[in-house]
DNA sequence: CCTAGAATGAGAATCGTTCTCGTTAACTAT
DNA sequence: ATAGTTAACGAGAACGATTCTCATTCTAGG
């Protein structure tokens, strides 16, 4: 999704929730859109053109989360990382490096994603659940740490 | 696994790592074995017969984690919850109910687990990672909430 | 352009977790 | 069993990520 349509979608969603789509919030959405994976507040600050105070950044992330524009990713102990919600970026999975703590997105091939989907459906049906979402998290060593 | 064999297995593992299986560590393992799900440090304290200081409890959990006797579960923002490791309780995945928030273990059939394993290996190899662990989290509605 | 209410920035406060250090308990060899 | 050595423990301080407070600054609507 390009930047303009992204902002249009996000603005529509925020207006629905009676909050403004301000410059600071746009900047956070841009920073997340540029990230190849979930990013913590501290990580976001360094990637942004003009730095935002952490207190504002946390509040912005909280507002965006309430409107389901971003979702928190909590796999790394002690820090919350955020990414744009799936309805904005599409479905993907995560890889977590057990050595350096980096978190990266993993795109599956359509074939693999189909395999995961059917597996999830089968598993959930057998257990009596109604699945609405799923995520495969792979932990291990990233290229740098291997 | 009963309490006695559990303690025997844990002790063997700890001794391999040159750490002692003391009374306090036994108490934490017992508390986790009695828990129907992952427990945070604060939650563990209240369930234990004689309360352990938090500083000791955190150190104990850290020691147990280093020896792979317990693993952290980080689904709740800002709090780490621990459970006994898979080699003690069996490999499982998690289902999270989006309605009531319940977290339940999911056991896969050997066939399905093999399918997940090979899928994980294939995905990780393509991305250049060395996978050591994985978890499939399925979100949706549990039996009660469906 | 004015105004009311929302958003922001700076810093203090909070909360989970980790660190420090003096004390206590657990193995080892006698 | 006892003493000596060293790991483990307890208490509290310290730390880091996040949240809160409140005075100031934007923003949308009139």
Q: Is residue A71 located within the same domain as residue A113?
A: no
A123 interface with B at CB cutoff 8 Å: yes
What local confidence, expressed as pLDDT, does residue B56 receive?
98
What local confidence, expressed as pLDDT, does residue B100 receive?
61
Q: Is residue A20 located within the same domain as residue A71?
A: yes
Q: Is residue B102 located within the same domain as residue B81?
A: no
Q: Is residue B9 located within the same domain as residue B71?
A: yes
Neighbouring-strand partners of residue A40? A81
What local confidence, expressed as pLDDT, does residue A1 receive?
64
Q: Is residue A77 located within the same domain as residue A118?
A: no
Residues A70, A64: Cα–Cα separation, whole Å: 6
Q: Which CATH number belongs to the domain containing residue B53 in this structure?
A: 1.10.10.10
Q: Is residue B83 located within the same domain as residue B97?
A: no
User: Among partner residues A106, A124, A127, which is closest to B127 by beta-carbon distance?
Assistant: A106
Residues B53, B124: Cα–Cα separation, whole Å: 41
The domain boundary residue, chosen from B57, B72, B89: B89
Q: Is residue A77 located within the same domain as residue A104?
A: no
Q: Which residues of chain A fall below pLDDT 70?
A: 1-2
What local confidence, expressed as pLDDT, does residue A99 receive?
77
Q: Is residue B80 located within the same domain as residue B128?
A: no
Question: Could you identify the residue whose CA is nearest to the C1' atom of nucleotide D13?
Answer: B55
pLDDT digits (tens, 9 = 90+) for B57-93: 999 999 999 999 999 988 778 889 999 999 999 888 8
Neighbouring-strand partners of residue B137? A135, B94
Counted domains in chain B: 2
Q: Do B132 and A77 touch (CB under 8 A)?
A: no
Q: Is residue A44 located within the same domain as residue A63?
A: yes
Residues A105, A73: Cα–Cα separation, whole Å: 11
Q: Is residue B72 located within the same domain as residue B113?
A: no
B146 located within any domain: no
Q: Which domain holds residue A74?
A: 1-86
Q: Report the relative pairing of strands B93-97 and B130-141 from DSSP bridges.
A: parallel
Residues A48, A52: Cα–Cα separation, whole Å: 8
CA distances from B46 to B25, B30, B49 (A): 16, 13, 8
Q: Which CATH number belongs to the domain containing residue A113 in this structure?
A: 3.30.1490.190
How does B6-25 read in b/e, with b if 16+ C-beta sit within 10 Å?
bbeebbebbeeeeeebeebb
B145 located within any domain: no
Q: Which residues of chain B fall below pLDDT 50?
A: none
């Amino acid at each position: 999704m390009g930047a303009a349509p992204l902002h249009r979608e996000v603005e529509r969603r925020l207006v629905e929730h009676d909050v403004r789509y301000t410059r600071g919030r746009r900047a956070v959405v841009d920073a997340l859109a540029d990230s190849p994976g979930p990013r913590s507040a501290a990580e976001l600050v360094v990637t942004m053109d003009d730095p935002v105070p952490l207190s504002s950044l946390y509040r912005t992330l909280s507002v965006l989360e309430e409107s389901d524009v971003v979702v928190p990713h909590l796999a790394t102990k002690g820090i919350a990382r955020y990414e744009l919600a799936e309805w904005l970026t599409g479905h993907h999975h995560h890889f977590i490096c057990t050595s350096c703590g980096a978190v990266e997105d993993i795109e599956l091939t359509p074939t693999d994603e189909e395999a995961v989907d059917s597996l999830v459906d089968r598993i959930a049906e057998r257990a009596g659940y109604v699945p609405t979402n799923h995520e495969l998290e792979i932990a291990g060593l990233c290229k740098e740490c291997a």
